[in-house]
């Protein structure tokens, strides 16, 4: 929270450029420095303009992640296995980090599956559970995308139909 008072993204980029193993990532992100500076400015302005709203936004993001981790517990339980919530939280958090590092991969194609496979194996769980978790998560993603597209379609078709009936 305190890092957002004065900006964080540009400092992270400077830090990446100083670390020997992260210099390549820093070099890839360097052309985006102006965009990162603008994002930094927007975040700090939002923080200073309305700190309470900023904190609520962060808390809602965290709550959403907590619910997502519960999803992992439920998916694994659907196959009759037990996984603790802290372990699911750890696996889900590490998978999110992998997804953020591999942000260049469109829709995380293969990256999410590989991350779950390796993380489940890392924690001495059946790696196929990781694949299953990833696939079920993808099905959920597509279901919500379909629901959103359906809502968009119904809200754009309805006004057009009522306007046509008035003619």
Determine the Cα–Cα distance for residues 138 and 120; give it in Å rounded to an integer: 17
Could you give phi then psi for residue 136, rounded to 5 degrees? Answer: -65, -40
Read off the pTM.
0.69
Domain ranges (residues) in the chain: 1-49, 52-166
Rounded to the nearest angstrom, the gap between the alpha carbon of residue 156 and the centroid of all alpha carbons in its chain is 29
Q: Along the 167 residues of the chain, how does pLDDT read in single tens digits?
A: 666 666 777 788 888 888 887 788 888 888 888 888 888 888 888 888 998 999 999 999 999 999 999 999 999 999 999 999 999 999 999 999 888 888 777 777 888 899 999 999 999 999 999 999 999 999 999 999 999 999 999 988 656 556 656 66
């Amino acid at each position: 929270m305190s890092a957002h008072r004065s900006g964080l993204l540009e400092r992270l980029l400077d830090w990446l450029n100083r670390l020997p193993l992260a210099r390549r990532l820093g070099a890839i992100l360097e052309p985006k420095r102006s965009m990162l500076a603008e994002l930094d400015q927007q975040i700090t302005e939002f923080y200073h303009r309305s700190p309470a709203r900023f904190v609520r936004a962060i808390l809602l993001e965290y709550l959403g992640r907590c619910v997502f981790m519960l999803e992992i517990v439920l998916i694994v339980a659907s196959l009759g296995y037990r996984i603790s919530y802290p372990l699911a939280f750890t696996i889900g958090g590490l998978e999110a980090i992998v997804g953020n590092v591999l942000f260049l991969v469109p829709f995380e194609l293969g990256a999410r599956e590989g991350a779950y496979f390796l993380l489940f194996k890392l924690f001495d769980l059946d790696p196929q559970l990781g694949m299953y978790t990833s696939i079920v998560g993808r099905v959920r993603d597509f279901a919500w995308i379909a629901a959103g597209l359906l809502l968009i379609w119904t809200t754009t078709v309805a006004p057009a139909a009522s306007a046509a009936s008035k003619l």
